[in-house]
């Protein structure tokens, strides 16, 4: 291929998806840092805030697969535009919440709108990115998300001091509209449909997509359910999502209540797992591509992801029992970042297995993972209020990471649908 990286249009597609990931976490994470003033203003208990967090994830899980299937049929251009416009609207409407039930309903509708965003982005990358570049690209994508996840708690903390929690949602909600307009005007579902793509780049992309067709296959459901890697792939992702939702919902409360942090220090440590995850994203993407080149597709995905989960489980177990507050905060950040080291391999595996059905395969994995996001935010308050406390809450994450490592023994990215 003769096209230089600066001329390669596919890398501009990657930049768009990274911006999408950034906006996704900007809007999703801010509520965790604002949970205190929201609860105080609306008179909500810790358990009620747990239900608010879970309402988003329930809707996200319900609408994930239908939205991804829609994108496999119609393409990512239209579907991602709709997703971002919808969630931006309901990010802003969150500012109008006046009671527990109004907040639950708004967050449920927010989740319904955001559902499918990442599988559809994976679908777009699957059409534009050759197989040998997918790990690194997925790592870059998640780095954008975790950069937003890392800076959002501090940004929300600063803004809330001056304008109040309601205005924070209005400000953050505006960002998505700009992205949606630019995406719809510039992006095309196929490289050969984009006027800026040169012929050599187009041929290079198409020659390295393993012969995938541009549209999803009809009657794909049975093949997905019978695929030997799907069950372990779905079970594995529960651990990742459980840990992630702990970070964006209850980590600030844990650091404040159990470890004694407050103010700017609390905001910084709340964002530390996501910021450290940026290194995990890049490292995981590079590592899985290197392993694929040198040891083949199965080991290139499974060894990287399974090994990282094993390390994450050990670090999280240590975080639950150490006496030092700063050591616990650091170990949680290390565990979460190491779990994110697996993301490039996980999502690249969905594209490897799914081909032209990458959107719906990714959605199956991501939807199953939302079990962790549904259960975790409501389970933690129950545990903390008299059923084991914070150490048990942290220990559950450790156990889930060990189970995820075991699941990777049975996942084979070579087996296409």
Residue 61: band (very low, low, confident or very high) from pLDDT cuts 50, 70, 90: confident
Residue 214 pLDDT > 70: no
Query: What local confidence, expressed as pLDDT, does residue 212 receive?
Result: 55
Residue 322 pLDDT > 90: yes
Question: What does the angle CA 254 – CA 98 – CA 44 come to, to the nearest 5 degrees?
Answer: 30
Q: pTM here?
A: 0.76
Query: What local confidence, expressed as pLDDT, does residue 139 receive?
Result: 86
Query: What local confidence, expressed as pLDDT, does residue 410 receive?
Result: 96
Residue 3: band (very low, low, confident or very high) from pLDDT cuts 50, 70, 90: very low
Average pLDDT over residues 332-352: 93
Residue 374: band (very low, low, confident or very high) from pLDDT cuts 50, 70, 90: confident
Q: Is-contact 412 280, C-beta < 8 A?
A: no
Helix (H) or strand (E) holding 349: helix 343-354
Residue 378 pLDDT > 50: yes
Residue 210 pLDDT > 80: no
Instruction: Please give the residue that has the higher pLDDT: either 145 or 214.
Output: 145
Mean pLDDT of the chain: 88
Average pLDDT over residues 385-410: 93
- Calculated CA dihedral for residues 350, 29, 281, 357, nearest 10 degrees: 10
Of 40-44, 126-130, 365-369, 385-389, the least confident: 385-389
Residue 348 pLDDT > 60: yes
Question: What does the angle CA 280 – CA 283 – CA 287 come to, to the nearest 5 degrees?
Answer: 135
Q: What is the DSSP letter of 150?
A: H
The tokens for 148 are: 């937003």
The tokens for 220 are: 């794909």
pLDDT digits (tens, 9 = 90+) for 75-103: 899 999 999 999 999 999 999 999 999 99
Produce one character per residue of 381-403: b if its CB has 16 or more CB atoms within 10 Å, e if not. bebbeeeeebeebbbbbbebbbe
Residue 398: band (very low, low, confident or very high) from pLDDT cuts 50, 70, 90: very high
Distance from the Cα of residue 64 to its chain's centroid = 13
Average pLDDT over residues 337-351: 92
Among 304, 307, 313, smallest CA distance to 285 is for: 304
CATH topology of domain 9-410: Growth Hormone; Chain: A; (1.20.1250)
Provide the terminal-to-terminal Cα distance of the chain, rounded to the nearest Å.
Answer: 29
Query: What local confidence, expressed as pLDDT, does residue 180 receive?
Result: 94
Helix (H) or strand (E) holding 68: helix 46-74
| Contacts of 153 by beta carbon, 8 Å cutoff, 6+ apart | 29, 30, 32, 33, 252, 267, 270, 271
Query: What local confidence, expressed as pLDDT, does residue 24 receive?
Result: 84
Residue 386: band (very low, low, confident or very high) from pLDDT cuts 50, 70, 90: confident
- For the chain, which residues make up each domain, given as ranges? 9-410
- Calculated CA dihedral for residues 45, 28, 142, 296, nearest 10 degrees: 70
pLDDT digits (tens, 9 = 90+) for 131-183: 788 888 888 888 888 887 778 777 887 888 889 899 999 998 898 999 999 99
Query: What local confidence, expressed as pLDDT, does residue 320 receive?
Result: 93
Q: In whole angstroms, what is the distance from residue 400 CA to residue 284 CA?
A: 20
Residue 111 pLDDT > 80: yes
pLDDT digits (tens, 9 = 90+) for 250-293: 898 899 988 988 888 888 888 889 889 989 998 998 999 899 98
């Amino acid at each position: 291929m003769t096209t230089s990286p600066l001329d390669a249009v596919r890398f501009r597609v990657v930049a768009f998806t990274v911006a999408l990931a950034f906006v996704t976490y900007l809007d999703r994470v801010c509520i965790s840092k604002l949970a205190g003033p929201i609860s105080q203003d609306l008179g909500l208990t810790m358990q009620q805030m747990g239900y608010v967090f879970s309402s988003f994830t329930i809707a996200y899980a319900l609408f994930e697969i239908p939205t991804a299937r829609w994108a496999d049929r119609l393409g990512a251009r239209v579907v991602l535009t709709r997703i971002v416009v919808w969630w931006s609207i309901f990010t802003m409407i969150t500012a109008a919440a006046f009671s527990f039930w109004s907040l639950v309903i708004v967050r449920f509708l927010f989740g319904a709108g955001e559902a499918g965003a990442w599988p559809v982005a994976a679908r777009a990358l699957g059409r534009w990115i050759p197989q040998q570049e997918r790990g690194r690209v997925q790592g870059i994508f998640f780095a954008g998300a975790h950069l937003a996840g890392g800076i959002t708690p501090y940004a929300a903390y600063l803004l809330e001091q001056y304008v109040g929690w309601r205005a924070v949602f209005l400000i953050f909600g505006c960002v998505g509209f700009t992205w949606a307009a630019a995406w719809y005007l510039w992006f095309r579902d196929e490289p050969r449909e984009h006027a800026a793509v040169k012929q050599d780049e187009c041929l290079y992309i198409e020659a390295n997509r393993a012969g995938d067709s541009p549209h999803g296959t009809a009657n794909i459901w049975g093949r997905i359910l019978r695929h030997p890697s799907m069950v372990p792939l779905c079970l594995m992702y529960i651990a990742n999502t459980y840990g992630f939702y702990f970070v964006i919902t209850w980590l600030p409360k844990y650091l404040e209540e159990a470890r004694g942090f407050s103010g700017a220090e609390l905001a910084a440590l709340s964002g530390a797992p996501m910021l450290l995850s940026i290194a995990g994203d890049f490292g995981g993407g590079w590592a899985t591509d290197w392993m694929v080149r040198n040891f083949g597709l199965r080991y290139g995905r499974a060894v990287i992801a399974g090994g990282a989960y094993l390390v994450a489980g050990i670090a999280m177990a240590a975080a639950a029992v150490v006496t030092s507050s700063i050591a616990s905060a650091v170990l949680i950040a290390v565990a979460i970042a190491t779990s994110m080291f697996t993301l490039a391999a996980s999502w690249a595996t969905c594209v490897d297995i799914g081909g032209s059905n990458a959107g719906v395969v990714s959605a199956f994995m991501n939807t199953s993972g939302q079990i962790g996001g549904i259960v975790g935010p409501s389970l933690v308050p129950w545990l903390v209020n008299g059923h084991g406390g914070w150490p048990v809450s942290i220990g559950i994450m450790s156990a889930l990471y060990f189970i995820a490592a075991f699941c990777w023994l049975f996942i084979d990215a070579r087996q296409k649908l």
